[in-house]
Each structure stands twice: as C-alpha cells, then as structure tokens.
Chain A
Amino acid sequence: MASRSEPIRPRHSRNRGGLVVLLLAVPVVLPLLVSTYARVDPTIAGIPFFFWYQLALIPVSVVFLLIAYRLVASSGRDRREQRGQDEGDVR
C-alpha cells in the first residue's frame, strides 16, 4: 500500500479551497449580522423586512453552496484523474 503515502491533493486545490471557504463564509456571516435586518420596513405584501429578508437569505445561501459544490466536485474529478495516472490501478 505504498501508494497511499503519495500526495493525493492536486497542487491547485489549496487556492481553490480558499475560494470555497470564502464562498461558504457568506451564508454564515450574513444571518449573524442581526442589526442589519432587525427592522419592520420595507415590508413586502405585508410581511416585515425582518421575516422576508431571512427567508430570502435561504435561496441566496443555496446559490453560494451550489457554486462551492461545483468547485469541489470538479477538483475531486481532477484529483481522481491525477491519481489514476500517478498510481495506476490501485484496486
């Protein structure tokens, strides 16, 4: 099992990892800034800002998560291909 000591993360994954963390920080930080949305106006269809803003944050967070997922999933494919070349058939 010597092949397991090979580096299995591609070199560019660190940069990409940083971008992923940044993308994921957005849906964590925005809901924590309560003072930015703890108010009644403007209302939409009678719903105070406080409520509709937080509901609107949900699809926003999904967009950021999906972009992060795309990035990670494609770097996973890179990793798999690279390792396939480096190690041959491990199984």
Chain B
Amino acid sequence: MKEDVDAVALVIFLFFFVLVTGMGFLASRWRRAEALDNLDEWGLGGRGFGTFVAWFLIGGDLYTAYTFVAVPALLYAGSAVGFFAVPYTIIVYPIIFVFLPRLWSVSHRHGYVTPADFVQGRYDSRGLSLAVAFTGILATMPYIALQLVGIQVVLEVMGIGGTEESSLIEKDLPLFVAFAFLAAYTYSSGLRAPALIAFVKDTLIYLVIIVAVIYLPIHLGGWDDIFGAAQSKIDTANAAAVDAGQPPAAALVPGDAANWAYASLALGSALALFMYPHSITAVLSTKSRNVIRRNAALLPAYSFLLGLLALLGYVAIAAGVEVSNAQQAIPQLFENEFPGWFAGIAFAAIAIGALVPAAIMSIAAANLWTRNIYKSFLNRDATPQQEAQQSKVVSLVVKLGALIFVLVLPDEFAINFQLLGGIWILQTLPAIVFGLYTRWFHRWALLSGWAVGMAYGTIVAYQQPSPTKPDVLHFGSPTALLPFADTTKVYIALTAFVLNVAVAVIVTLLLRSANTPAGVDQTNPEDYYADSGDPGVAMTTVQAEGDVATGGPGQSSSRDGR
C-alpha cells in the first residue's frame, strides 16, 4: 500500500491548501461588516448571501468530502444500495422548498440563529429547546470527525502522514496542521471563511469529476466493460459468501427485498438532512426566501455530480484498484490513472471538500451551544459580544473534540456515531417542522416523542450485526427488520421517527385533556411568511436595532417574555 510520495502531486496539493488558508483569513474582510463580534455576522455571515454565494455555500455544506469518499466506496465494495445517495439528494430539495422558507421567515423576524431558538420561541420550553440543541451537537461532532477521515484517507494514499507503525503524533501530524489552520481562520472569519473557500472547493470538484467520468470510461473500454467488471467482482464475492455459508449480499441492482431499505434510506436521510444544524445555518445565512427556493431548484446539479462520482466506485473496480480499505478506492483510482499534477488537484479537491463542511458544522454546533445552553442556562443576560466570543471558543472546542475522535478512537467509532447521528437528528423533526405549521402538539409530548425515538433508534442500531462482516455484531447496518415483518428491512431512523410521532400525538391528547399549560407562543401566524423588506425582518444588525427601538418585533423584544 505504501509507496513513494509523488512530488508533483504534493506540490499541487500544498499550493491549493495554502491558497484556501489565505482565503480563509482574508474572508473576514469580504462583505465587510461594521463589527464581526455578534452571531448574525460571525455565525451567519451577515444573513445576506444571495443565490450565487448560497449555491456554493449550501452545496459545499451538504456534499461533503466524506460523501465523496464513502458513497463510491460502497459501490466499490459491491453494495448498489449505496447509490441511494442519489434519490436522497433528489427528494431533499422539494422538502427544502416547502418548509425552509417558513423557518427562514420566522427566524428573521425574531432573530433566531439556531433551530433550537425557534423551538424555544414557539413552545416556550427550555427543556425541548435543550433537547433539540443537544441532539444537534451530538449528531454534528461525529460528522466533523468523518470529514477528518476523508482528509486522512487522501493523505494515506498520497503517502504522507507516516505508516501504521509510526507514533500517533507522527502519523497524524499533517492532519493536525490542516485542522489547526482551519480552526484559526474559522475563529477569525466565521461563516464567511467556508463561504469563500466553497468557490475553490466546488470548482475543483466539478473539474475533477467531469474529467474523470469522461476520460476514465473511454480509457477503460466504455461503461459496458466497467459494469461487466463490477458484475464479475460481485459474482465472485457472492460465490465466496455462499461457500462460507452466508447469503449472497452483493448486487449490481438492489433486489426486491432491498427496495424498502433503499426507499426508506433515501426518504429518512432527506428528512434528516435539514435537521442538521449546519444545513440550517447555511440556509439562514441567505438574504431572502426566494434565494432558498431558487437554490432548491439549482442545487440538484450537485446530485448529478454525486451520482457520477458514485459510479467511479465501479470504475475503480474495472481499473483494477486493489485496496484493503474501500474508502481509499477513489483517491487510489486517481493516483493510478492520472499524472501527478492532476492527482494532486483531485486530492486537494477532496481535502478542501472536507474543510468547508467541517468549518460550517463547527460554527453551527457552537451557535447551538451559545444560544441554547450558554445563554439559556448559564448566562441569561449575555451580550451579543459575549455570545460571539463564546461561539468562537466553542467552535475550537468542537473541532478539537472531533480531532480526538479520529485520532484516539478507531475509525469504526466515528462511522457508527455518524449512523446514529442520522437516526438521532431526525427525532428533532417533529419539534422543528411540525412546529412551523401547527402549535397543536404539546411541548412535553414532543419531548416525550423525542426521548422515545432516540432510545428506540439507539437500541435498534446497536443490535444490528453487519451483513457482510461476521465479526461486527453492533452498529453493522443502518437498516433493521420492520417490527412484525419477516424480511422487510427499513432505515432505523424512519421507524424511530414514526414511533416518535405516535408518542407525540398520544401524549398531546392526554395533556390537552388534562389542561396542562402549553406555554406562550412568541410567534404570530404572519411571521411565517415575512420576507426581506417586510417590517421586523432583520436584514442587517443596524436595521434590527432600529426595530427594537421603535417597539417592533425585533430580537430582544421577542426574548423578554419567557
């Protein structure tokens, strides 16, 4: 596996790394605000990004390096179910189109920075808001860790970062350096840094993938031969599985039994994606409702890219890539098939593709901490300056936590946690999305549903052995048998979600019949339609302060009446 470092690839890689680091620091001067020391500026980039910037930012946020490494790795390993990433990223955009403009409007009118802020304002329940914030932070940490895994894989294929035998520090020194720079410019520039770097990331990714999907099939004898090679690898794997007394698990096209798993993974992941704090952060940084909707129509371009990239997993099989860790398949493919300079660009694209979402995720998690734990429980009179300072420091802590995750714990741990993260984050959907439409659900009922969904999802995920690796007994699969079904497997997150909603409905009925206090709703029905230019919609901080001064529904007036 280990080979000599390709000097040309390394130089190109370092060039792009230095370039984005410089951009990250300079980003604080981009769209310069009067002051960066409040969360609207540091944590949401001034809430003023237009369609163009938002397209790169949201795209850079959702299509992460880990996706670019892991999805083709699944296909390389013979699991066509991995292609569910494509329907998943088709389904997600109509969902964004429908409900995120509402969240945007109400968040602007009341100065909400996080989804948990909204839940607090809507349900008047610090407990429910804490549950949403806690789930968000918990689900985001391993996600950041996986971005590091993406960089690690690239560094390993490039041959830098030491060998298995070298010490922990020596092995991961380059990763440590990369992350230190990321942490430093996120600290100083906030959300502006990933927004600016996203331009470089996506330009490189588009370039690399378009070249790869045009050049490689021609070079390897066409898609016929590629799928032929994939089919024969799958046949071999299945024959070996049958010899070992196990059911054949690999397939070029999912069989009937896998249809439900495929559809439920796509739907569950699509519903979960916009519960992740980093997605909501990127959406709240846009300047108007129509920017969100226009982007919902334009972002599927990335899904096409992801689909093509997924197929590179089969291309790697046809190109004879042999790696022990499937996640190295794509970087290895580039190293084998392309000259050093182009491989260097590809490696840079993947690594920068990890830095952008890692920055946004750490900002989003830090905002949750600051707004919904620090300000709600520890320092209720925090000034905007204190909030921003708190978030900046916590963004460092979150990244350090993710780094420890990757350096100390085995990779499996981050991947299992990521699997759990998807299950967990979906359990916050009733509080956030249902809350955008109705106040019917009782706050404690939503909290009960959340708790049941979290517990059920965690236990069931723990019970799943891996279908392909007999030594993996826990967290082996995102799907589980549907209760009372013989063969139908579905995504655990979705089953837990249905249970969550059922509990929320039943407990709401009970609490309502007992006349339990439902809390004071801070929002008005028309808040959910407010657009930029409407009264009380904070376009800039200065404007928001003006609203407060004139008694309008600005940020501070909505926070008074707990």
Contact = CB atoms under 8 A, between A and B. Distances in A.
B297 interface: yes
Given A27-B94, A61-B90, A8 B529 contact: yes
A9 to B, nearest CB: 7
B75 to A, nearest CB: 10
B93 A38 contact: no
Nearest to A3: B535
Interface residues of A, number: 43
B300 A62 contact: yes
A14 interface: no
Interface in A56-73: 57-59, 61-62, 64-66, 68-69, 72-73
Nearest to B298: A62
B93 A91 contact: no
B267 interface: yes
B87 interface: yes
Contact of B91 (A9, A28, A39, A69): A28
A51 B308 CA distance: 10
B411 interface: no
Interface in B324-357: none
Contacts of B262: 34, 38
A48 B94 contact: no
B304 interface: yes
Contacts of B298: 62
Contact of A54 (B227, B290, B297, B307): B307
Q: B interface, by DSSP: helix, strand, loop or mixed?
A: helix
Contacts of A25: 94
B535 A50 contact: no
Contact of A76 (B91, B222, B531): B531
A47 interface: yes
Contacts of A24: 94, 97-98
Nearest to B226: A46
Contact of B529 (A9, A21, A65): A9
A61 B93 contact: yes
15 contacts: A1-B552, A4-B535, A24-B94, A32-B87, A34-B260, A45-B222, A50-B252, A50-B254, A51-B307, A57-B90, A65-B93, A65-B94, A66-B297, A68-B293, A76-B531
Interface of B: 80, 83, 86-87, 90-91, 93-95, 97-98, 222-227, 252-256, 258-260, 262-263, 266-267, 289-290, 293-294, 296-298, 300-301, 303-304, 307-308, 311, 524, 526, 529, 531, 535-536, 551-553
Given A4-B535, A57-B90, A76-B289, 19 more contacts: A8-B529, A9-B529, A28-B91, A31-B86, A31-B87, A32-B87, A32-B263, A34-B262, A40-B253, A45-B223, A51-B307, A54-B86, A58-B86, A62-B297, A62-B298, A65-B300, A68-B293, A68-B297, A76-B531
